[in-house]
Amino acid sequence: YHADRSACGPCCRYLAMVALCQHDANACCLWFLIGQFLLAALVLGGEASEDCIGTPDQPLPSDLFEGITNHCQDVQKKGDTCVEHCVNNLAATKWSYTCTTVKKTILRRRHCTCFVGPVANCGDTPQPVPPAPPAPPVPPVPCLLPNASEDYDESDCDAASHAEPPRTTCNVACSSGRYGNDSTFTCPEDNREPHRSWNGALSPCKRCDSTVRPSQNRHDVVDNCSDVQVGGTCSVTCKGQSAPHLPEQTWTCQKTGVSGCSCFTLPSGGPLQCTTNQTTTMTTTTTTTTTLTRKRGKCIAPQGIPAGQEWRYNVSDCVAGGRNSTCTVNCAIGFTGNGSMFDCFGPPFETLGKLPHCKANCSLRQRPQHEWKEKHVSDTCGYVRAGQRCSTGCAVGFRGMEEPFACLEEAGTPPMCTCFDGNMPICIVEHAPCTTIPAVPNATLSSEAEVPHLGFAEYHCRKGFTTTGNASGQTEFTLQCTDGYFANYEEVGCAAIAEPSLWPSCEINSTLQVVGLDAKECVGKRERESCRVKCAPGHYHPLPDRYSKQDAVELPSLLVCQNGNFVGTIPRCVSSTNGVREFDVYAFIDSNKSTELPTNINVFDLEGLLAHLYTDIFFFQQVLANASELSREITGKWNGTKPELPITRDEVDTVVRYRLKIKNPTTDIPAKYLVNFEFGVYANFENGSSKDFGARDLFAQAGGVVGLSQQLPGTITVNEPKPGSSWDAARCSDPRRLNTPEWQKNCHLKDVPRSDPRYVPVGRLNSFSLPGPCPNVAFGEKDAKKDTCTKLKDGRTPFTGGLCRDKTNPDGSAECTFTLEEVGRVKLDVVTGVTLQDCEGGPCRDLRDFQLHCKDSSLRRGVKIANFDRRECTEYAPAFDMRNLSFELSCHDKQVAENNLWSCYDVCNNSEASVPSLRHRCTKEDNAKRVDLLKKMFQNAAVTDAAFESQVGNDANMSSVSIIQDCDQFRQCRPDTLRGLNYCARDDSGICNYCYIPNTTGFDANRVKNIFACRKDLFSSGGYSDPSGRPSCPKPETTNSEKD
């Protein structure tokens, strides 16, 4: 999905299953097949009448009778006739056919699917058929799977059929949520019949009343069912002050799984009815009616997932739910397998089906520190269980970047992880020697041999030079080696012995004594002498972000002593921001709704907003346009079932600019949820509810952590299997196999976009998630479902989000991680250029006027207009060929897959139905112009919303966001100065990322693939001010003149 998000195309076009495709591309392929079936039904229109001469897939006379012409293919109206005759004039007879049924294709072209007429006969003489060669011996073939319902698990028989050679026996078990005896089936060893089924009879499978303990489904009961075995019973009673009709109820265990009993049945009677002060909902798989005080509106999560196995499956599609519908359960990230269909029945709206077989993609079968013991690797994976994460690092005396690992499977007693997924860290010796001795001006080395850690290199000044330039100065000095680096070697040297100058000196006045400025080099300078000033350690020269103006001052700044005063520009130096980060962010809103500062939303930087406009707002608006049987009346009323989508163009009308300040509690964020050293995982809010379960867990553990998702420009090199290879991506990425002959046979390198392939970015773009109260429930339902809202880790304190209500700056506590200040608004119609378009009667007044009355017919690719044979106008949509008479999509007469219709790396990348200001989304140069235009809109436009006119104005003079190069404070950013690796720098969007220093002493270009080089002002602006963090640069070669 991250490599090619456009794989969601088929689902979105046919079934609008966007939420499913965003999490699992394999499930999207399954829905694509279903979409093809629906497409065939749409084109062919069902079965033909009994009088048709052909079938819906072969309706033409020329499809059925050999030797006749093809004149009937252009018939498009019911009742029209066509005449056919023999092509080779073997018979003079002509035959007339009448069209009785017409259907429309997906491209709105009429197509006759039923002709009535006589049988044609052109009188061809049959040719003798040569005898067929003797058939080769038929090898044994596997039997067909037993014809079992979804109550049964046929995976063993499926594996037996695909074995080499096929097995002759297999077992059919009851599926998850059912219980009963296994059924044994057999298949003859020498079977030659391809349609023979497995021999055997299915044992009955009964339905479980619950797949978990009763108390796990209901909060008003207690049970003693934790250790019950098969055939055993346990009791359930009402909790606390409940007043039961029955004092106790007995449940029986019918089947066990890896985490205890996985199938309970209730011998008689309905579920225990308890009367409490709170509403109670029991989620079981029985059809017994339970006393409820609140109606269930949607389907519940799938039933039958074994306890402790939840991490294997992606149930996001079924959690979204729906009445009397279907959903798909897919394999989670790290597992491979096809999705499975689940059915939703109601009431009580249960979700039932057969779980998919998900195979773990294992990189290791034992702990990383055991697998890579000789590589000096250590880990925190000793007691990790399946579904949990851990990290690897370097052993004592070595250093390197940490790598995250995930445990996918466990086995044994006590359970131990047997399947890990992750990459090996690169560890180097902590205390490296100094292999390159730096040259010092006007000095010679006593020895050029390697200097050990904490050792010394000895220098001697050349004749006529001393360390101070005075005749009495020292002629010898030393430099100490620390971790492969000679500290302060730039500040030492030998000066020529000369007579004292009579020129006047420049005094260090108060201007050069400000806090944070290092002007030590200027002490004692005389007329015409120069010196450099820079920021002192712990202070930084603030840098502009990509949307701000560059400061004219470059560091270090050069000053010249003239007439007793220093002449030059003093740099601005500031202290650390104490962990508070500032960003200008933007969001699309509905101006007619609440004016309070929003939470439980996603916000974006300027280019992130532009990408969001294309890949979400316009994309989902096209999902509405392609929804089957959906139309909208001129009044705005919808006809048909409107799909629930994250956001569409109809729902937003304004762009708002905010100043966002963030300080996350980084020490409380677990390593598995930490992003870019100081952010949490991106919560991906949709309609006020987080769709990332990891973010929900993070909120409960650490509070209102602001999440980050960053997209990068350019491409990244990945390891992929070659076509036809039996290897998967996990094996191709295994560092133990890289570049081996077997790897070269099965794998190759491929460059893929770093970002969403539906938009070509100019630079780095960021998305932030801002949590608020009850982040796990959608807007409009938070009050009604407040009992289910996320709570902090004590299980009692309600989660209130991270917005600081009464503070200017966030303090990093669980309840105060960000502040938000609105600083400007612009109408979205102005941004997209709707009001500049021509409508019937003059310029378009607003979006709705544009949708209904735009004059440019090429833009009519939007939602169908009810009772009219046309569509609404849309501001932006991909434009495939409407004149193509086949059922294949194409652009510029070149065929394109449905899932690549939006891709900027396929044939439709410049085929657009767009207003002028939005054209060429796949061109970096045009996107750069749009970003600049957006910036100017917020600098110059006035607020037009009356509700905010007296409170907020677009502040053109508002101070720009500054970047402080303080990433070296993070422990993950300790550099390898010899190789130039493991450095960190804030990019021009203000986010810390790993980077490298090129051409260092031990630089290896093969180790910096897919990593960006550090920005050139990293050190001059205050980053890594400690000399131990400076890179080891090669010793310059000495010329012959210098040797002389």
**Burial profile 622-635: b = 16 or more Cβ within 10 angstroms, e = fewer:** bbbbbbeebbbeee
Residues forming a β-bridge with 894: 891
CB 898 within 8 A of CB 879: no
Beta-strand relationship, 565-567 and 260-265? unpaired
Q: Who's near 1043: CB < 8 A, 6+ residues apart?
A: none
Query: Which one, of 346, 356, 928, 986, lies nearest residue 677 by Cα?
Result: 986
Q: Who's near 237: CB < 8 A, 6+ residues apart?
A: 221, 222, 223, 244, 247, 248, 249, 272
Peptide bond into 347 cis (omega under 30): yes
pLDDT of residue 46: 42
- Left, alpha or beta for 765 (phi > 0: left; psi -120 to 50: alpha)? beta
**Strand, helix or coil for residue 125:** coil
Question: CA–CA separation, 188 vs 192, rounded Å?
Answer: 9
**Strand, helix or coil for residue 813:** strand
Regarding pTM above 0.75, the answer is no
pLDDT of residue 949: 38
pLDDT of residue 283: 35
Question: CA–CA separation, 344 vs 591, rounded Å?
Answer: 37
In this structure, which amino acid lies at residue 817?
A: T
CB 57 within 8 A of CB 44: yes
pLDDT of residue 92: 57
pLDDT of residue 32: 54
- Judge residue 177's burial from the number of C-beta atoms within 10 Å of its C-beta, 0-12 exposed, 13-18 middle, 19 or more buried: buried
- Give Rg (Cα) of the chain: 36
pLDDT of residue 296: 37
Question: CA–CA separation, 768 vs 605, rounded Å?
Answer: 9
pLDDT of residue 589: 92
DSSP letters along 255-281, please?
A: EEETTEEEEEE--SS-S-----SS---
Cβ neighbours of 143 (radius 10 Å): 24
Element (H, E) at 14: helix 9-14
Question: CA–CA separation, 290 vs 140, rounded Å?
Answer: 54
Q: Compute the Cα dihedral for 579, 583, 589, 591 and give only its sign.
A: positive
**Burial profile 383-412: b = 16 or more Cβ within 10 angstroms, e = fewer:** ebebbebbbbbbbeebbbbbbebbbbbbee
Mean pLDDT by 10 residues, the chain (1044 residues): 41 40 51 50 44 74 76 80 73 77 63 82 51 59 73 81 82 85 87 78 85 75 85 84 61 81 77 55 34 43 71 76 68 83 63 80 89 90 86 86 87 85 86 86 88 90 87 87 83 80 75 87 87 89 81 73 86 86 93 82 95 94 89 92 91 93 89 92 93 90 94 88 91 88 92 91 94 92 89 86 90 93 92 93 93 94 91 92 65 85 90 93 94 88 39 44 89 92 93 94 87 89 88 74 48
Query: Which one, of 110, 111, 123, 78, lies nearest residue 97 by Cα?
Result: 78
Q: Which two tokens stand for residue 296?
A: 């269930």
Question: CA–CA separation, 86 vs 1034, rounded Å?
Answer: 87
pLDDT of residue 817: 95
* Residues shown for the chain: 1044
**Strand, helix or coil for residue 479:** strand
Question: CA–CA separation, 965 vs 985, rounded Å?
Answer: 6
CB 908 within 8 A of CB 880: yes
**Burial profile 959-990: b = 16 or more Cβ within 10 angstroms, e = fewer:** eebbbbbbbbeeebbbbbbbbbbbbbbbbebb
